[in-house]
Amino acid sequence: MDGHAPILQCGASVNPPPQIKPLGRHVKKFTTGTTKNSISIVYGTGNPAKLASMRETLAPIGVHVVGLNETGISIPDVYESGDSPLENARIKAYAYYHALNRPVFACDSGLYIDGLADGEQPGVHVRVIGGKRLSDQEMIGHYAEIARRLGGKAVAQYKNGICLMLGGGAVYEHFGDDISGEAFYLVPIPHPRRVEGYPLDSLSVHIGSGEYYYDRDDRSVDFSMECWRAGYQAFFREHLHAA
């Protein structure tokens, strides 16, 4: 990408990473307020909002999340060539692990719509259709037409995958509803509100109430967030304990 370090090509053919120091050697105090015995693990993202959300999610179980930009190491961009959220999470985790030589996890998400054949699912290519990268307005038009074709509304869900690499051959992965967002209706008539970079929010309707999410304020956010946060916490509890 322009203005970034060279792209690091990674994929399913990448060899397993070399062994690194045991996880316990990465237990350290990174910031004020981090508990003395908290485990620090790098989260493979440069998105401040995602970093803040994951920190809030994992802090209660003693996991301190470190962002890529806080490692002090120049890391190449990763070419996400996978066809599923889990594949892309794996690609990123392998790449960042190799660059940093310390415990890393990475996540990715994809959009899945009931009623579409497997070959039609947007998945991780939600913005790229037929090889073309769509603008926000083009995305609204494209997915509104899908909703019309599926009877005026379609149940959709953003599903998440995660890959955690701890070293010594310890690699843990998960793709499931427990770490994903709640299902919603994708509808053909967009809400008048637009937020740059999030075009499909204008087509998203809460299933229980039939209201656009933009009209619901924070009423539907808390329960959904608590569900996927509990899923991430369970994942890390299980696998850090196993390590």
The DSSP string of 157-216 is EEEEEEEEEEETTEEEEEEEGGGSPPPEEE-SS--S---TT-GGGGGEE-TTT--BGGGS
Structure tokens of 168? 């010594």
Q: Are strands 77-79 and 7-9 parallel, antiparallel or unpaired?
A: parallel
Calculate helix-pair angle for 221-242, 48-58, nearest 10 degrees: 70
Active-site residue 118, yes or no? no
What's 217's DSSP letter? Answer: T
Structure tokens of 230? 């509990």
Active-site residue, from 108, 118, 201, 215 = 108
CA atoms of 204 and 124, how far apart (whole Å): 18
Q: What share of the chain is helix, strand, coil (3-state, %, to 5)?
A: 35, 25, 40
Residues in CB range of 25: below 8 A, 6 or more apart: none
Count CB-CB contacts under 10 A for residue 33: 9
- Report the candidate in 192, 159, 218, 179 with the shortest Cα–Cα distance to residue 58: 179
Could you give the residue numbers annotated as active site? Answer: 108
